[in-house]
Amino acid sequence: MTTLVLILGDQLSLNISSLEGRDKNRTVILMVEVHEESVYVKHHKAKLVYILSAMRHHAELLRSEGWLVDYVTLDDPENAGSFTGELARAIERHAPKQICVTEAGEWRVKAMLDSWHDRFVVPVTINPDNRFLATHAEFEAWAEGRKQLRMEYFYRSMRCKSGLLMDGNDPAGGQWNYDAENRKPANRDTAIPRPLHFTPDPITRDVMQLVTAHFSDHIGSMDSFGFAVTRADALKQQTHFLDHVLARFGDYQDAMLTDEPFLWHSILSPYINSGLLDPVELCKEVEQRYRDGNIPLNAAEGFVRQIIGWREYVRGIYWLAGPDYVRRNELGATRPLPSFYWTGQTDMHCMSQAIGQTLEYAYAHHIQRLMITGNFALLIGVEPQEVHQWYLAVYADAYEWVELPNTLGMSQFSDGGMLASKPYAASGAYISRMSDYCRSCRYDVKSKTGPDACPFNSLYWDFIARNEAKLRGNPRMALTYKNWERMSATDKSALQRQATKFLETLG
């Protein structure tokens, strides 16, 4: 009795739940490259290369482990172009008695998988994704009856559940969170690490040709492509991070420097999200480094919090909020995304840095996503769907379950505070404090009005004024509104005139 197991492009883990307990002699694994997944948003070329090459390498690994793999390439003339179409063809080829797949990572694909129960005569089993600490039911139970769903409390429950950085029932070091120690601005005197660069092998080079042939109209460059595409290489990057970078991860988590896209970040998200790396295994390694006395607690805790705190929490919010979450627009933002998000051509140095490196590497670190590109879109009031589609397209680690809550909830406050307790809106002063961008910008970060004034300054106050009805009641915004009130009417209207003038230049 043959079981057909479909493995999706972000399920590249040998221990994926759809394979659990399977007999290799009675299983055919199906992996399919489909056009529909490449174009539901126009993914960055390097993201496409990463996913398709990692899929091809994973198929080889599965074969080397003794599995029978039926792999359909994108340029197969018979390719039906969608998961459903390809599954229908595979059922004809293999006449399986049952189909099994691990649950999808987004509502769109979930609906597709759910429709198969009715569409195909062959029974379809959808297994839960076992690569997360919290099940959907656990997150729902945690959220039940809470007025506010704050990450910190969920994170503590995940620490207790996993036992990570725990001394019995207490957090290691006596404190749950060392975030306050994680806000140092970086300077060039500290030697800055670089992530490992993996030279494209023949499989990756074939995929690059495929992407050039089929997706030349997608944004981004493949020239600097250096992602790992196998678990073995992803593990090398993991070890590199643990050995050379992690010790300073905590200190410089929020720092930004010109022409330094990676700083003390792990660059592991593409691998974790597509299944090449196991998040809990990684956190255990981090804890071990701390227990061995090799890294400080603020680094270990800061990193573990990102994975078993933020990452698990945003997934919980995504599924809890439902398929309509994507349409939330609490602040009623309607502006189109400025065209320079697709080119990086802007005279705002912080923006050209964050967007430029995104186009080159399909990567930007968290503070660039949140406080540069996200902050700017929030301040000018871009329609959240446009912001969401940009983030989903441009980053190699972007899948909707993780991207959408971060973009729509955390960065654009479009869910009205379901995820974040206040909008992450900031003026130029924040960017100047956490980066060296302003030093080589044509704008003056200290000026609020006039031809050289940093646009973030007037846009910030314009945002505050524009959204007063929605935000004034938020206790965390009280000080901001007090400051706004204290300003003279002349200053207020000068700021708003400056913002309007700038917004007109965006078209």
d(CA 334, CA 467): 13
Q: Is 43 in the site for ligand DLZ (CB under 6 A)?
A: yes
| Angle between helices 312-321 and 136-143 in degrees, nearest 10 | 80
- Rg over alpha carbons for the chain, rounded to the nearest Å, is 24
Is residue 290 part of the contact set for ligand SF4 (CB under 6 A)? no
Q: Smallest distance from the beta carbon of 460 to ligand SF4, in angstroms?
A: 10
What residue 261 binds from ligand FAD, ligand SF4, ligand DLZ, none (CB within 5 to 8 A, per partner kind)?
none
Tracing tokens 């725990």 back to the chain, one arrives at: 166
Contacted entry of ligand FAD, ligand DLZ, ligand SF4, none for residue 411, CB cut-off 5 to 8 Å set by kind:
ligand FAD
Are 303 and 246 in contact, with CB atoms under 8 Å apart?
yes
Grouping H, G, I as helix, E, B as strand and the rest as coil, residue 431 is helix
Among 176, 399, 437, 443, binds ligand DLZ (CB under 6 A): 399
Tokens linked to 349: 């140095």
Question: 160 near 205, Cβ under 8 Å?
Answer: no
What is the residue whose two structure tokens read 């022409």?
259
Site string for ligand FAD, 353-372 (x = CB under 6 A): ------------xx--xx--
402 touching ligand FAD, by CB under 6 A: yes
Instruction: Read off the tokens for 354.
Output: 């964050």
When the beta carbons of 186 and 441 are compared against ligand SF4, the nearer one is 441
- Return the range that interacts with ligand SF4 (CB under 6 A); candidates 9-17, 252-260, 405-413, 432-440: 432-440
Q: Least distance in Å: CB of 358 to ligand SF4?
A: 16
- Give the CA count within 13 Å in the CB-facing half-sphere of 150: 7
Q: Is 448 near ligand SF4 (CB under 6 A)? A: no
Give dist(CA 140, CA 409) in Å, integer: 18
Per rule CB under 6 A, is residue 126 in the interface with ligand SF4? no
DSSP state of 103: P
User: Taking CB under 6 A as the rule, does residue 270 contact ligand DLZ?
Assistant: no
Q: Is 4 near ligand DLZ (CB under 6 A)?
A: no
Residues in a beta bridge with 171: 166
The DSSP output letter for 416 is T
The residues of the shown chain that bind ligand DLZ, judged by CB under 6 A, are 8-10, 32-34, 37-38, 43, 48, 51, 104-106, 109, 399
The residues of the shown chain that bind ligand FAD, judged by CB under 6 A, are 265-269, 272-273, 303, 306-307, 310-311, 314, 365-366, 369-370, 374, 391, 395, 397-398, 402-403, 406-407, 410-411
